[in-house]
Every structure is written in structure tokens, then in C-alpha cells.
Amino acid sequence: MPVSPDDERDGYVHLSAAAQVRGTLARHFAGQEDLLLLVLPRERLPDSSLRWEPARSGELYPHLYGDLTVELVSEVLELPLDPEQRHVLPQGF
């Protein structure tokens, strides 16, 4: 799968834990249409490919060191916008 310019620059795929998704959407993707949320269960990730590293805020975020392949993804979820242009997350997020 193609990665973002930021992922390409940094050498890893930026991920968010379920509890971090809402904040990541608000900070980096506010109002953006046609977004998809990819669910990557930890057990599908290759050994040693996931690292939790601090962001500028000091909060730890997961980073995938390796290729983002279809085999790693268990679900692809659409993220529609509500009338206030906020992303509507599936139940459980």
C-alpha cells in the first residue's frame, strides 16, 4: 500500500491506538472527506515491527517499521463527516 509523504520521510508508518484515533483525526485530518480507517490487529504485525515512540507532546504512539500490506489489515471502515465536519467513528472508538 502507498504511504503518506510523512511516513516516507520518517521511515515508518504512523499509527494510532484506538483511544488516539479521535485526536489524530482532529489534529491532522479535520474536515477531510473520503477517509478510511484501517484496523491492524497487533497479532497480524510481524515481530519487532511495532514500536511505541513519543510524539512531540510526549504521548506514545505506535509506529510500524515495515511495509503496510493488505494482510495486516482486518477491517477497512469509512469515516463520514457529520454536519459539523467532524469524522463519525464506528461504535467502540
Domain residue ranges of the chain, discontinuous segments joined by +: 5-79
Q: For residue 1, name the pLDDT band (cuts at 50, 70, 90).
A: confident
Could you tell me the three cell numbers for 66? 515495515
In terms of CATH architecture, what is 5-79? Alpha-Beta Barrel (3.20)
Could you tell me the three cell numbers for 27? 489534529
What is the predicted pLDDT for the residue at 80?
97
Alpha-carbon span 13 to 67, nearest angstrom: 8
Question: pLDDT of 39-82, one tens digit each?
Answer: 999 999 999 999 999 998 999 999 999 999 999 999 999 999 99
Question: pLDDT of 26-40, one tens digit each?
Answer: 999 999 999 999 999
Q: How many other CB atoms sit within 10 Å of the CB of residue 14?
A: 17
Global model pTM greater than 0.75: yes
pLDDT over 80 (residue 92)? no
Cα distances (Å, whole numbers) of residue 6 to 3, 18, 53: 8, 21, 16
